[in-house]
Amino acid sequence: MTAHGTVGTAEPEEPATAGVDAGHDDAGLDVTGLTVAYPRAARPALDDVSARVPPGEALLVVGLSGSGKSTLLGALAGVLGHTLDAQVHGTALVAGVDVTAGGPLDAARVAALVQQDPIAQTCLDTVRAEVELVLENHAVPAARIPAAAAEALADAHAAGLADRRTAELSGGELQRVALAAALAGRPRVLLADEPTAMLDPRAAREVGALVGHVAAGGTTTVVVEHRLDTLAPLPARTLVLSDGRVLACGPTPDVLAEHGARLAAGGCWVPTRTLLATAGAPGPLGTPATDDWLRDLADRRGTQPETPDPYRPGARRRRPDGGFALHARGLRVRRTRRAGGPWSRARRVDVVHGVDLSLPRGRVLGVVGANGSGKSTLLRGLAGLEPTGGSVRAGRTALAVQHPEQGFLCRTVADELAYGPRRAGLADTDVEAAVAAALRRFGLDGLADRSPYRLSGGQQRRLSLAAAVGGDPDVVLADEPTFGLDRAGTLDTAAILRAEADDGAGVVVVSHDLELLGRVADHVLVLHDGRPLGTGPAEDVLADGELLDAAGLERGPLLERWAGWPRPRPSLRRLLTGLDAAVAAAARSGLPDRTGAPA
Amino acid sequence: MSARPAGTTATAPGPRGSALARWNPTVKLGTLLLAGAAVMLVTDPVTPTVLWVAAVLAALTLGRVPAGTVARAQLALAAFSVSVFSANLLLRHDGDVLAVVGPVEVTSGALAVATSFAARTLYLGTVSVLLLTTTDPVRLMVSLHQHARLPAPTTYAVLAAHRMVELLPAEWHAIRCAQAVRDPRRTPGSPLPRSPRALGAATFGLLVAAVRRAERATVALESRGLGAGPRTVAHPVPLRAGDVVAGAGALVLVGAVVLAGWWGGWLAGPAALTPG
């Protein structure tokens, strides 16, 4: 615990016991010496974790990918060692209930869980049934159930969804329903595991605000979240995990002030405010001094060409004759749909219409749009995987899919990387060299003999991208390549995509992360309901608030500030990469860290 | 907020608003199972044909199943039915020789049994379609919990699995696309590969995906307290005397068709399967 608060905290340090039932009826959280080991894992996922959350308070859990955040929530929900195989030692008291011993059904009496995947955690056909199930399980008298379900849906801003089928809902709508189902049982403790991770920016902000609101209310809440700018307000307390151990735990402003720099430099997502402070900004975003500092940051990177010239001689290994990597005119992509179950007539529907694209080699095209706007279908059409109309001319095309597991074909990571080169007819020695190079470049060394299905989420994503770019394709299509990655993984991916373009490929990136596109994209195409709503140079599109708004998209605080500056604005890419460089420099030159906490 | 059963609207058009949809699902399931079992020992062509026609009429009128849906189901069933018919026609030898096709003699006994089995296939298939199109899955499971004493964790696991099965075709397609695009020798626009190797890899991927989804659904159901102890039912499915009377009535009709065959002399039992 960090006891010395340097920044004023909104809440008193320990509001704790006052006004709350004492003893075992305590509605807080008490974790002591919690160690969790998964079968066949080299080291425990959680190692001697202890933490306390006073009743009614909220705890934010942050850390790098693989630091044990989701494992902690799984243990608190009682599923580890019960529903899912794991060795669990130590105790976790959730509102006085020992969930490590009692398992998920004991935990369910006092706690509710919202998971990351909106589709997989939805169990029933209709929204109403989904919420009522919880009330039935809590033995709420039948007569009171309809009103209680309506109330829970209203609390989650989902009252209008009550009569809908769950199969028709968007990810953001499903997460609101999941939150309603969680709140319906009036839990004393709410556990939320990256509830906004799979949502588009606007849905993420809405769900983040809902969870933030619940956390700020009387329900004890534990939230694991990457996207800290969307979670508003931030929970009062923060726990930092690193390699399964507690690095820090205390009031959020104190923890961020003392460890934010280390977290940001280590590759963790932190609020924009903390990121700026780490990079050495003179004040918070929006102050004139910080504006000047940011402009200066963008200018300092001015020595580099802003975008590599696609026709620059020697820039490309692939196809030195230059020209277009991808060319599409009036592209339509069709999908087969059955509206009324397996006996209904199969209909081919145009999911994407009227897309014109010209992607020169060496350029990166970003594609944005709300969930369901047809982005993934467009990529499949460009890869020649779905029936298309209009014309597409493309060189050899590789696609890194949104869910990496779907594309795996082999038993080991090395075989996975060798698959493409082997199919392309390379000699064995060349295949081996290609695999070794890919293992090194994508940080997969030491994992060559591992099954692809047993990798962490971040490792799977790197493997998927490595396999896609392995054969030096002319066109690289990447579908949400930074989904679920920490900041370090996101920046690495951005660098790889940019490097592929600099190497002569045409790159198309679908992403919800507008800052990522600010870093890598030359052009941006905005899709809405399967139709192009706008297209243009990346900075023009990202500065066009009306266009983004019409597509159901929102900028984060940093982009919003940049877009609000009068023209001529400094280059967004140089601003973002300059900020990244300043954070990295802060890491190298010793951190503004006053605690000397162990790394 | 009304007390009507989940997923069913009294005034809804189509099968989910029909008389068959309002029928207590447990009684309906039991009745249709018995009505299907009634023909298991019947081998004459007339009895299953009459029952099949009755089932189609019931689907169109009592079930308000759209004619197009009924027709498409019949077409799908016909494919299976034809193969059952041909196999029995060619492999059986009993009674008068009606025709000689190459090395095979078509006999009257074989024709009767083959027609009977083909009609039985259509009948059982139509009954299944009738059940699936007019039954709300949630209502069926609630009713099985209430009236057949099936434990709640079982019924809701079935419902979650049902939802998951609905998602599998999309998952299967996504996996086949994701795997196909890995092949550098693939021509864009060519159909997805159907080689045993490709389908095997996709099947394994689907299995992994299904296990992952099942894991998350289990965590979701358990963390929502399913199976934790005594529970209530938000929308109890009524079991009225009329439901049972309707079931008995349907079974009497089926019995009457079988009896009519016995009375008229065309009913044949399993004895017809063993020549001699």
The pLDDT, as a whole number, for residue A398 is: 94
Look at residue A305 and tell me whether its pLDDT is greater than 80.
no
Burial of residue B190 (CB within 10 Å: 0-12, 13-18, 19+) is exposed
The pLDDT, as a whole number, for residue B275 is: 63
The pLDDT, as a whole number, for residue A344 is: 60
Q: Alpha-carbon distance A532 to A511, whole Å?
A: 15
Token representation of residue B206 = 């689907």
The pLDDT, as a whole number, for residue A585 is: 85
The pLDDT, as a whole number, for residue B93 is: 83
Q: Alpha-carbon distance A362 to A360, whole Å?
A: 6
Closest alpha carbon within chain A to B220:
A121
| B105 band by pLDDT with thresholds 50, 70 and 90 | confident
Residues in chain A: 599
Instruction: Tell me what the mean pLDDT of segment A197-214 comes to.
Output: 91
| A343 band by pLDDT with thresholds 50, 70 and 90 | low
Nearest to B222 among A105, A403, A424 (CB): A105
A364-368 and A506-510 beta bridge pairing? parallel
- Picking from B137, B133, B140, the residue whose alpha carbon sits closest to that of residue B70 is B133
Closest alpha carbon within chain A to B228:
A105
- Does the beta-carbon distance from A419 to B219 stay under 8 Å? no
Q: Alpha-carbon distance A392 to A388, whole Å?
A: 9
A245-251 and A189-193 beta bridge pairing? unpaired
Instruction: Tell me what the mean pLDDT of segment B217-244 comes to.
Output: 92
Do B131 and B12 form a contact (C-beta atoms < 8 A)?
A: no
Crossing angle of the two packed helices A457-469 and A413-423, in degrees rounded to 10: 20
Angle among Cα B254, B255, B256 to the nearest 5 degrees reads 90
Q: Give the count of beta carbons closer than 10 Å to the beta carbon of residue B187.
A: 8
Q: Alpha-carbon distance A69 to A53, whole Å?
A: 16
Q: Give the count of beta carbons closer than 10 Å to the beta carbon of residue B252.
A: 10
Look at residue A283 and tell me whether its pLDDT is greater than 70.
yes
The pLDDT, as a whole number, for residue A514 is: 94
Token representation of residue A470 = 């392995």
- Picking from A481, A122, A180, the residue whose alpha carbon sits closest to that of residue B167 is A122
Token representation of residue B179 = 């795997």
Q: Is the peptide bond before A233 cis (omega within 30 degrees of 0)?
A: yes
Cα distances from A284 to residues A12, A89, A261, A293, A575, in angstroms, run 24, 43, 15, 11, 16
Torsion angle defined by CA atoms of residues A205, A210, A214 and A215, in that order, rounded to the nearest 10 degrees:
-10
Each residue's pLDDT tens digit, A470-493: 888 999 999 999 988 889 999 999
Each residue's pLDDT tens digit, A91-131: 999 999 999 999 999 999 999 999 998 998 999 989 999 99
Of residues B257 and A458, more confidently modeled = B257
Quick one: which H or E segment has residue A242?
Answer: strand A237-242
Each residue's pLDDT tens digit, B52-92: 999 999 999 999 999 999 999 999 999 999 999 999 888 88
- Interface check for B140 against chain A (CB to CB < 8 A): the answer is no
| B10 band by pLDDT with thresholds 50, 70 and 90 | very low
- Does the beta-carbon distance from A126 to B7 stay under 8 Å? yes
Domains of chain A: 23-264 (3.40.50.300), 326-335+347-556 (3.40.50.300)
Q: Mean pLDDT, chain B, as a whole number?
A: 89
Q: Alpha-carbon distance A462 to A444, whole Å?
A: 8
Instruction: Tell me what the mean pLDDT of segment A331-357 comes to.
Output: 78
What three-state secondary structure class fits A94?
A: strand
Percentage with pLDDT > 70 across chain A: 89
- Interface check for B201 against chain A (CB to CB < 8 A): the answer is yes
Closest alpha carbon within chain A to B160:
A123
- Does the beta-carbon distance from A423 to B184 stay under 8 Å? yes
Of residues A191 and B6, more confidently modeled = A191
Name chain A contacts of B185, Cβ cutoff 8 Å: 423-424
| B17 band by pLDDT with thresholds 50, 70 and 90 | confident
Look at residue A424 and tell me whether its pLDDT is greater than 50.
yes
Nearest to A133 among B1, B72, B156 (CB): B156
Percentage with pLDDT > 90 across chain A: 66
The pLDDT, as a whole number, for residue B271 is: 81
- Does the beta-carbon distance from A138 to B166 stay under 8 Å? no
Look at residue A7 and tell me whether its pLDDT is greater than 50.
no
- Interface check for B159 against chain A (CB to CB < 8 A): the answer is yes
Helices (H), A80-200: 99-108, 127-137, 145-155, 171-184
| A567 band by pLDDT with thresholds 50, 70 and 90 | confident
Look at residue A502 and tell me whether its pLDDT is greater than 80.
yes
Percentage with pLDDT > 90 across chain B: 67
Look at residue A591 and tell me whether its pLDDT is greater than 60.
no
Which residues, including other chains, have CB under 8 Å from residue A55's CB and lie 6 or more apart?
A16, A17, A20, A26, A27, A28, A95, A188, A220
The pLDDT, as a whole number, for residue A309 is: 38
- Interface check for B199 against chain A (CB to CB < 8 A): the answer is no
Residues in chain B: 276
Map out the domains of chain B as residue ranges: 15-135+242-273, 149-223
Instruction: Tell me what the mean pLDDT of segment A195-213 comes to.
Output: 91
Instruction: Tell me what the mean pLDDT of segment B103-116 comes to.
Output: 89
Name chain A contacts of B221, Cβ cutoff 8 Å: 123
The pLDDT, as a whole number, for residue A316 is: 45
Q: Give the count of beta carbons closer than 10 Å to the beta carbon of residue B135.
A: 23
Token representation of residue A282 = 């003179």
Token representation of residue B115 = 């027609």
- Does the beta-carbon distance from B138 to A141 stay under 8 Å? no
Which residues sit opposite A218 in a β-bridge?
Answer: none
Q: Alpha-carbon distance A217 to A210, whole Å?
A: 11
Token representation of residue B37 = 């079992």
| A456 band by pLDDT with thresholds 50, 70 and 90 | confident
Q: Alpha-carbon distance A384 to A486, whole Å?
A: 31
Q: Which of A168-172, A316-320, A540-544 has the highest mean pLDDT?
A: A540-544
Token representation of residue A581 = 């460089």
Each residue's pLDDT tens digit, B198-223: 999 999 999 999 999 999 999 999 99
Closest alpha carbon within chain B to A454:
B208
The residue with tokens 């009713």 is B143
| A322 band by pLDDT with thresholds 50, 70 and 90 | low
CA distance A286 to chain B (A): 42
Q: Alpha-carbon distance B51 to A369, whole Å?
A: 54
Do A25 and A13 form a contact (C-beta atoms < 8 A)?
A: no
Name chain A contacts of B195, Cβ cutoff 8 Å: none
Each residue's pLDDT tens digit, B149-201: 999 999 999 999 988 888 898 899 999 999 999 999 999 889 999 999 999 99
Starting at the edge strand that comes first in sequence, how are the strands of the sheet with A97-98 ordered?
A46-53, A29-37, A87-94, A97-98
Closest alpha carbon within chain B to A191:
B223
Query: A438-447: long-range contacts (C-beta < 8 A, 24 or more apart)?
Result: A438/A466, A438/A467, A438/A470, A439/A413, A439/A414, A441/A466, A441/A496, A442/A466, A442/A496, A443/A492, A444/A413, A444/A417, A447/A413
| A42 band by pLDDT with thresholds 50, 70 and 90 | confident
- Picking from A582, A561, A577, A557, the residue whose alpha carbon sits closest to that of residue A281 is A582
Q: Alpha-carbon distance A277 to A273, whole Å?
A: 6
Task: Count CA within 13 A, CB hemisphere, residue B102.
Answer: 1
CA distance A599 to chain B (A): 34
The pLDDT, as a whole number, for residue A10 is: 40
Look at residue A9 and tell me whether its pLDDT is greater than 80.
no
- Does the beta-carbon distance from A424 to B184 stay under 8 Å? yes
Nearest to A119 among B76, B167, B181 (CB): B167
- Interface check for B161 against chain A (CB to CB < 8 A): the answer is no
Q: Give the count of beta carbons closer than 10 Å to the beta carbon of residue A427.
A: 10
The pLDDT, as a whole number, for residue B138 is: 85
- Picking from B141, B226, B167, B210, the residue whose alpha carbon sits closest to that of residue A166 is B167
Amino acid occupying residue A360: P
Look at residue B13 and tell me whether its pLDDT is greater than 80.
no
Token representation of residue A11 = 């809440």
Token representation of residue A590 = 């010793």
| A301 band by pLDDT with thresholds 50, 70 and 90 | low
